[in-house]
Amino acid sequence: MILLRRLLGDVLRRQRQRQGRTLREVSSSARVSLGYLSEVERGQKEASSELLAAICDALELRMSELMREVSDELSLAELAQSAASDTVPPMRPMLNPVRVSTVTHRPEERVTIKAPAEAVDVVAA
């Protein structure tokens, strides 16, 4: 199961680390306890929208940028999950359609899906 709180925590941690900042610096700036911020980054706590706004402000990151990166990661995780189970859930039309190429299932084929921040290898079962 894909947990949104884990993906959100991963993205927040990466953003903080890209800036070379410590948990202590960001928690102080966001006025959030260090322990709670750590739990959010590890995906152990659900962050409220107010808390996310404070963390984004501390990281000088737009909430829309955070959500976009989380959305991209969620899409990749869903693709990996569907590739593993050989089923693709139906997609609703998007407001801004993008061209998507079809990937056919071939046993033991490795497919690389490139995300803006990193690449994820998916091995078809």
Tell me the pLDDT tens digit for each residue of 48-81: 999 999 999 999 999 999 999 999 999 999 998 8
Please choose, from the candidates 68, 16, 63, 7, the residue with its C-alpha nearest in 3D space to the C-alpha of residue 37: 16
Contact in structure between 124 and 105 (CB atoms under 8 Å): yes
Q: Compute the 3-state secondary structure of the chain and give helix, strand, coil in percent, each to the nearest 5.
A: 50, 10, 40
What percent of the chain has pLDDT above 70? Answer: 68
Judged against a pLDDT cut of 70, whether residue 40 lies above it is answered with yes
Domain ranges in the chain are 4-85
- For the whole model, what pTM was predicted? 0.67
CATH class of the domain whose range is 4-85:
mainly alpha
